[in-house]
A and B are shown apart, each in its own frame.
Chain A
Amino acid sequence: MLEITTTHYLVLSAALFMIGVIGVMVRRNIIIIFMSIELMLNAVNVNLVAFSQQWQHVVGQVFAVFVIAVAAAEAAVGLGIILAFYRNKETVNIDEMNVMRW
């Protein structure tokens, strides 16, 4: 029987993180980009909890709870901002964000 070690969790979190980064890079819908960012933050949480398990203490889990709280706060504010943008522009496509260009 294969034992699940910290390394397995790290591979999972690295994969999750990369999916998030790629999502931010290639997707054009602001909401999907935001979801990809949430994926990155959850990769961090997997990392933290796996390390917490490895060290046999609770610090990493506390850290993860704080990350979740911060992500929630960001989601509340972020969705508000996206909504304000949508009201003026009638779109959530990032390519339409072109009022300011150098």
Chain B
Amino acid sequence: MPAGFSAADFYNILPELVLTGGALLVLIVDVLTVRQQRSLLGWLTFGVLSATLLALLPFSDANTVASRGLLAIDGFAFFFKVIFLLTALVTVLMSSSYIEVEQLRAGEYYFLILCATLGMMFMASGIDLITILIGLETMAVAFYILAGFLKPNRRSNEAAVKYFLLGAFSLGILLYGMSTLYGLSGTTNVRELATALASQERSALLIVGLVMVVAGIGFKVAAVPFHMWAPDVYEGAPTPVTAFLSVGSKAASFAMLLRLFMEGLPFLADVWQPMFWVLAVVTMTVGNLAALTQSNIKRMLAYSSIAHAGYLLIGVVANSSRGVAAMMIYLLLYVFMQLGAFAVVVMLRRQDVVGDELKDLSGLYFRYPTAACAMLFFMLSLGGIPPTAGFMGKFWLFSAAIESGFFWLAVIGVLNSAVSLYYYIRVVVFMWMKEEALGSPIVASPSMAVALTVALAGVVVFGVYPRPLFELAQVSAQSLGGVVAAVGALSF
């Protein structure tokens, strides 16, 4: 092993370097400008994220291991990094009006958004337990602060405390599991872990470690029974942060999950597959049933996002290249539908209206027809109705499960989607069939209009013409080591 780093190592993390530099630039510019120029920071952040995306493009078909086995720069990482950057871009677009209304400190806000994105990017390409830990914490610590960003607001305080305590608790469990895996294998590299552990007998310690890693990651993706933080945090956090949290942190945690289990522990699949099977079923069912009775939109979307984590776990259970591809497709499509729905909720927040109750959506169609129509698409997509993107995503997940022989899991998934339609359609009923809610007029700032357009375009375009996305996801999924064995002839 060569000592020190080479220039190639720095080239390989170019997007991350751009993002880090950009985040620091945002902080500096924040100090140099007066408070009235908050919108400038928004556009600067937007520029930093776009530059990162540009710097990322040359790595679309890279497949190397950088920084002495700490990072994998491959198609899998590329795909997830695109997801994170898209999420951050749309979140930043929808934040500016919210920051204005809530009188937030824009500089720190955007800086933390960029830090969280940076952490996610390292989570996606980390193939060493230490790198994954650092990525996870860079993201999580930024999110702890963001969740409590409305300092005078009690709900926001509570959200931050709950998220912090349960996040740190789950980190302890996850790390204990990781330390056990390290102890048994003598390596922290995920790929070496696979070879070192494959030949060992299955000691009780190994199983304990595995269960703890599953539980720790279960907390991060908000799988039932480790979900209790999610509804409170989603409800209390500032709405754009909730949006970013529900999409970005979930995608990053799933990237980490796939790296650890598909690359690091593929030979233990017969142990973790049943665990994820149970988690998937319980998560889908509890999430959907709890969402039925919610009157707060953010809380409803929180339970809905728990249910979606359940659907995504189906892809893990499938344990095939197709399952991984389906998860990646679903996560990308989820960016558009979930962020779109949250963008509409952010619009409801005005000077005189908190706007996160379901009744605040009443008569939205008569007040702001375009927003109501967009929301209709997002709800149909989240519910999985064709021809929206959500249908395509679910179709791929369920077909991956059936292909791997998990017929009943797919059936439970479909039944759950049917249940979920009730609460998604209820939103539509409120928008079309109720008396208009009170409060000042609802307006979309230009950046908010762009965010909504992007989200709507994603939902519609990928619902009708998903083929390029499928092809990209399939190629990317195959770069994930460990599932190579399962690669077959995949037909469209």
Contact = CB atoms under 8 A, between A and B. Distances in A.
Contacts, number: 127
A84 B160 contact: yes
Interface stretch (B103-111, B171-179, B245-253, B340-348): B171-179
A52 to B, nearest CB: 9
Q: Binding site of A, secondary structure by majority: helix, strand, loop or mixed?
A: helix
Q: How large is the interface on A (under 10, 10 to 19, 20 to 34, 35 or more residues)?
A: 35 or more
B168 A37 contact: yes
A86 to B, nearest CB: 9
A85 B137 contact: no
A84 B157 contact: yes
A70 B158 contact: no
A55 B186 contact: yes
B182 A48 contact: yes
Interface size class of B (residues with CB under 8 A): 35 or more
A85 B155 contact: no
Contacts of B144: 74, 77-78, 81
Nearest to A50: B183
Nearest to B156: A84
B168 A100 contact: no
Contact of A77 (B164, B171, B188): B164
A20 B165 CA distance: 13
A63 B188 contact: yes
B383 interface: no
Given A74-B141, A100-B158, A100-B235, A51 B164 contact: no
A6 B183 CA distance: 10
B290 interface: yes
A17 B176 contact: yes
A31 B137 CA distance: 20
Contacts of A10: 183, 205
Nearest to B175: A44
A73 B137 contact: yes
B141 A37 contact: no
Interface in B167-223: 168-169, 171-173, 175-176, 179-180, 182-183, 186-188, 205
A85 B157 contact: yes
Contacts of A55: 186
B102 to A, nearest CB: 15
B151 A73 contact: no
Contacts of B157: 81, 84-85, 88-89
B134 A20 contact: no
B162 interface: yes
B130 A62 contact: yes
Given A63-B179, A88-B152, A99-B155, A73 B172 contact: no
Given A47-B180, A54-B183, A100 B155 contact: yes
A97 B145 CA distance: 18
Given A20-B172, A59-B188, A74-B171, 9 more contacts: A37-B172, A44-B172, A54-B183, A70-B137, A80-B145, A81-B145, A82-B164, A97-B162, A99-B155
20 contacts: A6-B183, A41-B172, A44-B176, A47-B179, A47-B180, A51-B179, A51-B182, A51-B186, A57-B186, A66-B130, A70-B137, A70-B171, A73-B141, A77-B144, A84-B160, A85-B160, A94-B165, A100-B155, A102-B294, A102-B299
